[in-house]
């Protein structure tokens, strides 16, 4: 059985390694906890030396691409730097979007305070654009939640989280840009009756998942899309929302 923080292999060839990173595992060494396990170090004993091409936040789950040689690293890094890689994320957000699609362009400045948050800075920030698409909306007596797809044009630190916060819909359980409150079954299920044990969160970590990456293979030149399935906690949260909360999908608000 796969350990809680063990990445799932999605693709392997001579140039690239693609995995699904679990939430809670840093991509690179933690500057504050040097003994903490991180993605590359866990993989290298099995796959040899790896080059980190891009990163995910520690608590974000999903697809990560690593290079297996210097030439592949150079090619892949150039694609990310030139914004030629298409990255798609799914997020559970708190609130109800009134839009079906929305793009936000707001320049960002990283490490802007003692909590190392990223902020919108119209003067000193770097360009950052994110395209959003509403997938589902859920209504319950205690909370409003939505499933949103996010496609960032740029790859700034915490970009999706900051832009969603700016739209008034922080990612569920985000401790840095939201309240950090876990999503609980008791918040969405009518006449909830707790069992003998204390209730556990449906999802108690940042509800953001890197669903897919589309890029050009560094050797063959072919376009590939790699997709990471939802992790168990996110899949369970969606299952319970669809079961117990009032639900609207794209077809409903499109009048189909």
Burial of 197 (0-12, 13-18, 19+ CB in 10 A): exposed
Mean pLDDT score of the chain, rounded to an integer? 92
Does residue 49 belong to any structural domain of this protein? yes
Domain total in the chain: 1
Which band of pLDDT confidence, cut at 50, 70 and 90, is reported for residue 247? Answer: confident
The pLDDT of residue 3 is above 90: no
For residue 172, what is the domain's CATH number?
Answer: 3.30.2350.10
Does residue 1 belong to any structural domain of this protein? no
The pLDDT of residue 19 is above 90: yes
What is residue 196's predicted lDDT score, i.e. its pLDDT?
Answer: 46
What is residue 118's predicted lDDT score, i.e. its pLDDT?
Answer: 96
The pLDDT of residue 251 is above 90: no
Q: How many CA atoms lie within 13 A of 114 on its CB side?
A: 0
The pLDDT of residue 33 is above 80: no
Domain that holds residue 104: 8-253
Q: What are the phi and psi torsion angles at 53 (to 5°)?
A: -100, -40
**92 vs 206: CA distance, rounded Å:** 9
Which band of pLDDT confidence, cut at 50, 70 and 90, is reported for residue 124? Answer: very high
The pLDDT of residue 163 is above 90: yes
The pLDDT of residue 1 is above 60: no
Residue with the bigger pLDDT between 27 and 33: it is 27
Any idea which residues carry the catalytic annotation?
Answer: 57
For range 226-255, the mean pLDDT: 87
Does residue 2 belong to any structural domain of this protein? no
Does residue 3 belong to any structural domain of this protein? no
**156 vs 41: CA distance, rounded Å:** 24
């Amino acid at each position: 059985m796969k350990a809680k923080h063990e990445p799932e292999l999605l693709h392997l060839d001579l140039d690239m390694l693609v995995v699904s990173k679990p939430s809670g595992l840093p991509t690179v060494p933690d500057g504050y906890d040097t003994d903490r396990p991180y993605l590359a170090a866990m993989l290298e004993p099995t796959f040899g030396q790896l080059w980190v091409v891009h990163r995910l936040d520690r608590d974000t789950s999903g697809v990560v691409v690593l290079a297996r040689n210097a030439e592949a690293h150079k090619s892949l890094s150039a694609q990310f730097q030139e914004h030629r890689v298409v990255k798609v994320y799914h997020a559970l957000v708190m609130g109800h979007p009134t839009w079906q699609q929305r793009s936000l362009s707001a320049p960002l400045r990283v490490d802007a305070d003692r909590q190392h948050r990223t902020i919108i800075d119209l003067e000193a920030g770097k360009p950052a654009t994110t395209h959003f698409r509403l997938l589902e909306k859920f209504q319950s007596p205690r909370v409003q939640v939505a499933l949103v797809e996010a496609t960032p044009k740029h790859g700034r630190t915490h970009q999706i989280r900051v832009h969603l916060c700016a739209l008034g819909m922080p990612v569920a359980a985000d401790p840095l840009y939201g309240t950090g409150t876990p999503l609980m079954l008791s918040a969405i299920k009518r006449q909830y009756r707790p069992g003998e044990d204390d209730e556990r969160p449906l999802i108690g970590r940042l509800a953001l998942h890197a669903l897919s990456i589309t890029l050009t293979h560094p050797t063959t030149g072919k376009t590939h899309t790699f997709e990471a399935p939802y992790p168990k906690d996110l899949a369970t949260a969606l299952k319970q929302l669809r079961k117990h909360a009032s639900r609207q999908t794209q077809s409903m608000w499109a009048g189909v």
